[in-house]
Amino acid sequence: MKVATIRAQSLSKQYPGARGVVALSEITVDIPAGRFVSILGPSGCGKSTFLRCVAGLEDITAGELLVNEAEVHSPPHGIGMVFQRDALLEWRTIRKNIVLPVEFAKKRPVDYAEKVDYLLDLVGLSDFGRCYPRELSGGMRQRAAICRALVDDPGLLLMDEPFGALDAFTRDQMNFELQRIWMETKNTVLFVTHGISEAVYLADVVMVLSPRPGRLMETITVDLPRPRPLAVRETLDFGHYTSHIRGLFDQMSVTG
């Protein structure tokens, strides 16, 4: 898939059933190809729902959603997904886990051997391709999951709190590595997180959603040069972004 564009016009999503929750309301956003977009918002505001709609795993109930200018009805090809828990298959080696999407796409894994080498090297796991997931630390497993999401050159990478289960130090490292990987792959990324600092550090654009039903409160463009060292988080410029977003959250708890 080519690097994806995403366009939502008054997108709303209500889950079916008598007490069907309205998860998203009137979301309008235009994401050009190759942007790194962080999505922030209180628990239950519809962040995962938004990702699932983009992935074609949920139908929207009103408005329009276009990925590469085409309406989404079923999972489009060329999407990589990473979740909070890595979902590696314990009985497969790391290499065999990484080529899974290739097998699903009915392509030959042997043709991807070099790609797997490249990805393992990119995330610092070259020596672990023949290991099983249980032999890796939490951060290493999550890096393997990122390789798996990237193996078939997705034009769109959807990440739903991928580092939520990691300790603070590993999470910092993963943030730095993810930025580096993205600067090489240059695909479009939607990255859901609860961390304001993480969201700003990684993003070109931060979408802040309101409490349920999730509305788009504000879209903030992060204008900090890349590559961003982790220490950028201690700068005044960075602090302006995080305190502004924290202000939005304060506003939500007052009004919400």
Ligand X SMILES: Nc1ncnc2c1ncn2[C@@H]1O[C@H](COP(=O)(O)OP(=O)(O)OP(=O)(O)O)[C@@H](O)[C@H]1O
What proportions of the chain, in percent to the nearest 5, are helix, strand and coil? 40, 25, 40
Which one, 164 or 239, has the nearer CB to ligand X? 164
**Does residue 187 interact with Mg ion by CB under 5 A?**
no
From 5, 12, 38, 48, residue interacting with ligand X (rule: CB under 6 A): 48
**SS3 state of residue 70:** strand
Q: CB within 8 A of 226, min separation 6: which ones? A: 179, 183
Which one, 48 or 97, has the nearer CB to ligand X? 48
Which one, 9 or 14, has the nearer CB to Mg ion? 14
Q: How far apart are alpha carbons 15 and 48 in whole angstroms?
A: 13
Residue 44 interacts with, from Mg ion, ligand X, none (CB under 5-8 Å by kind): ligand X
Cα angle, residue 172 at apex, residues 5 and 230 outer, rounded to 5°: 85
Least distance between ligand X and beta carbon 121 (Å): 32
Which one, 43 or 74, has the nearer CB to ligand X? 43
Q: Which of residues 177-236 bind ligand X (CB under 6 A)?
A: 212
Residue 21 interacts with, from ligand X, Mg ion, none (CB under 5-8 Å by kind): ligand X
From 12, 38, 49, 175, residue interacting with ligand X (rule: CB under 6 A): 49
Q: How far apart are alpha carbons 193 and 151 in whole angstroms?
A: 23
**SS3 state of residue 40:** strand
**Does residue 47 interact with ligand X by CB under 6 A?**
yes
Structure tokens at 55: 């992935």
Element (H, E) at 179: helix 168-185
Whether the Cβ atoms of residue 39 and residue 65 lie closer than 8 Å to each other: no
**Does residue 165 interact with ligand X by CB under 6 A?**
no
**Does residue 23 interact with ligand X by CB under 6 A?**
yes
Which one, 44 or 63, has the nearer CB to Mg ion? 44
Annotate each residue in 29-68 with x if it binds Mg ion (CB under 5 A) or - if it does not, as one string: -------------------x--------------------
**How would you class 44 by CB atoms within 10 Å of its CB: exposed for 0-12, middle for 13-18, buried for 19 or more?**
middle
Which one, 49 or 185, has the nearer CB to Mg ion? 49
**Does residue 46 interact with ligand X by CB under 6 A?**
yes
Cα angle, residue 232 at apex, residues 145 and 192 outer, rounded to 5°: 35
Beta bridge partners of 167: none
Interface residue list for ligand X (CB under 6 A): 15, 21, 23, 41, 43-49, 212
Interface residue list for Mg ion (CB under 5 A): 48
